[in-house]
């Protein structure tokens, strides 16, 4: 999310001791704020308060019942020196803000900016995690202001499958209602919230990810000795064990229908291979010095 703020350390108000000092800076994260405080010429023990502000990059409209009536988001992502897959990352940040709750009106503005940073590797849910964290946090804050329980606010915005979102995502299955019921009961939510000691908190949040193919998929095995072949051209984001498990199940299914066959698993770990070869080369060069 776009995070820019103003830090204002306020010093002990007794003028004869320290007076009052202020400084202003654009801060990309809380870590930068801590760094600025530590670098401050003001004695750390004299800093009694730090006020920060954030650019309002996400807004939600809620009714008194907790129903969401609108969402407005502006997301800025630092993407390194090359666009690469970044256009999809900034797309996910906005697209996957929907399909979890009922959103009757949405405005989204996304910016993927170039930066002098190293290239990043693959991860699951890229782009959507930060947006979901901000959304859920703001939803909790507004629920507290309205005097509503976080679970009640989520239930006030549930979808009814099948459902098609404003950005054309088709929701055919929706297990969030059952998930909320189970978590609320199994966690002892109501009892624990009533008995929280001072300084302790209890929170919850919801998230989701799209699945399924956009078009029907059909696999046809032909020939006298068909061989299912799974090729992974990138990192195995779901894991090598899962890939092999899927192939094993497919192999058993085919054996029942068409007799014994061979199943081939071909995986491409190009980045890991390059890193390994480079490391081996460097070790040899260092050993030769």
Number of domains in the chain: 3
Please indicate, yes or no, whether residues 138 and 182 belong to a single structural domain of this protein: yes
Per-residue pLDDT, 83 = 78
Residue 201 lies in a domain: no
Q: What is the mean pLDDT of residues 140-147?
A: 92
**C-alpha pair distances (Å), 50 with each of 6, 9, 83, 89:** 10, 5, 37, 33
Residue 8 has pLDDT above 50, yes or no: no
Among 161, 179, 194, the domain-final residue is 194
Residue 203 lies in a domain: no
Q: In what order do the strands lie in the sheet with 58-62?
A: 58-62, 68-78, 106-113
3-state secondary structure at position 286: helix
Give me the residue label for tokens 């929907």.
Answer: 98
> Given pLDDT bands bounded at 50, 70 and 90, which one contains residue 86?
confident
Please indicate, yes or no, whether residues 25 and 64 belong to a single structural domain of this protein: no
Per-residue pLDDT, 210 = 79
**C-alpha pair distances (Å), 148 with each of 32, 64, 196:** 34, 9, 17
Please indicate, yes or no, whether residues 24 and 94 belong to a single structural domain of this protein: no
Please indicate, yes or no, whether residues 46 and 63 belong to a single structural domain of this protein: no
> Given pLDDT bands bounded at 50, 70 and 90, which one contains residue 276?
low
> Given pLDDT bands bounded at 50, 70 and 90, which one contains residue 166?
very high
> Given pLDDT bands bounded at 50, 70 and 90, which one contains residue 37?
low
Q: What is the mean pLDDT of residues 186-191?
A: 92
Please indicate, yes or no, whether residues 169 and 225 belong to a single structural domain of this protein: no
* Sign, Cα dihedral of 219, 225, 230, 233: negative
Q: What is the mean pLDDT of residues 222-245?
A: 53
Please indicate, yes or no, whether residues 109 and 169 belong to a single structural domain of this protein: yes
Residue 103 has pLDDT above 70, yes or no: yes
Please indicate, yes or no, whether residues 186 and 70 belong to a single structural domain of this protein: yes
Residue 133 lies in a domain: yes
Per-residue pLDDT, 118 = 74
Q: What is the mean pLDDT of the chain?
A: 73
Rounded-to-integer distance, Cα 123 and Cα 237, Å: 7
Residue 208 lies in a domain: no
DSSP state of 289: -
CB atoms within 10 A of CB 102: 16
Rounded-to-integer distance, Cα 268 and Cα 80, Å: 24
Give 203-208's long-range contacts (Cβ < 8 A, gap of 24+).
Answer: 203/140, 203/150, 204/150, 204/151, 205/132, 205/133, 205/136, 205/137, 205/140, 206/100, 206/136, 206/154, 206/176, 206/179, 206/180, 207/100, 207/128, 207/129, 207/132, 207/136, 208/96, 208/99, 208/100, 208/176
Q: What is the mean pLDDT of residues 110-133?
A: 80
> Given pLDDT bands bounded at 50, 70 and 90, which one contains residue 14?
very low
Please indicate, yes or no, whether residues 76 and 46 belong to a single structural domain of this protein: no
Per-residue pLDDT, 187 = 92
Residue 199 lies in a domain: no
Please indicate, yes or no, whether residues 156 and 70 belong to a single structural domain of this protein: yes
Give me the residue label for tokens 């000691």.
Answer: 197
Please indicate, yes or no, whether residues 116 and 182 belong to a single structural domain of this protein: yes
Among the ranges 71-80, 81-90, 226-235, which has the highest mean pLDDT value? 71-80
Residue 126 lies in a domain: yes
Number of H-type helices and E-type strands within the chain = 8, 9
Please indicate, yes or no, whether residues 67 and 42 belong to a single structural domain of this protein: no
Could you read off the pLDDT of 263-275 as tens digits, one per residue?
A: 454 454 555 666 6
Residue 283 lies in a domain: yes
Least confident of 120-124, 167-171, 189-193: 120-124
Rounded-to-integer distance, Cα 28 and Cα 19, Å: 28
Per-residue pLDDT, 273 = 65
Residue 1 lies in a domain: no
> Which domain, by its residues, includes 266?
219-289
Among the ranges 28-32, 111-115, 146-150, 209-213, which has the highest mean pLDDT value? 146-150
């Amino acid at each position: 999310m776009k995070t820019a703020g103003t830090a204002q350390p306020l010093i002990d108000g007794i003028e004869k001791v320290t007076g009052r000092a202020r400084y202003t800076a654009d801060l990309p994260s809380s870590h930068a704020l801590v760094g600025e405080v530590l670098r401050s010429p003001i004695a750390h023990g004299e800093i009694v308060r730090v006020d920060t502000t954030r650019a309002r990059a996400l807004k939600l409209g809620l009714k008194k019942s907790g129903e969401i009536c609108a969402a407005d988001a502006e997301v800025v992502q630092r993407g390194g020196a090359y666009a690469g897959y970044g256009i999809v990352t900034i797309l996910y940040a906005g697209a996957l803000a929907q399909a979890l709750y009922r959103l009757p009106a949405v405005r989204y503005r996304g910016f993927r900016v170039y930066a002098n940073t190293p290239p990043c590797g693959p991860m699951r849910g890229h782009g959507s995690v930060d947006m979901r964290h901000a959304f859920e946090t703001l939803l909790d804050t507004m629920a507290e202001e309205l005097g509503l329980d976080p679970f009640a606010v989520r239930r006030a915005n549930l979808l009814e499958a099948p459902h098609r979102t404003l950005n054309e995502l088709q929701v055919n299955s929706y297990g969030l209602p059952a998930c909320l019921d189970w978590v609320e009961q199994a966690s002892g939510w109501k009892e624990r919230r009533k008995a929280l000691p001072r300084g302790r908190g209890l929170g919850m949040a919801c998230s989701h990810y799209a699945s399924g193919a956009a078009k029907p998929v059909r696999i046809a095995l032909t020939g006298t000795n068909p061989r299912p072949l799974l090729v992974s051209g990138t990192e195995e984001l779901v894991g090598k064990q899962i890939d092999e498990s899927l192939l094993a199940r497919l192999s058993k299914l085919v054996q029942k229908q068409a007799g014994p066959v061979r199943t081939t698993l071909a995986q491409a770990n190009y980045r890991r291979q390059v890193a390994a070869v480079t490391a081996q080369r460097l070790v040899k060069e260092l050993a030769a010095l």
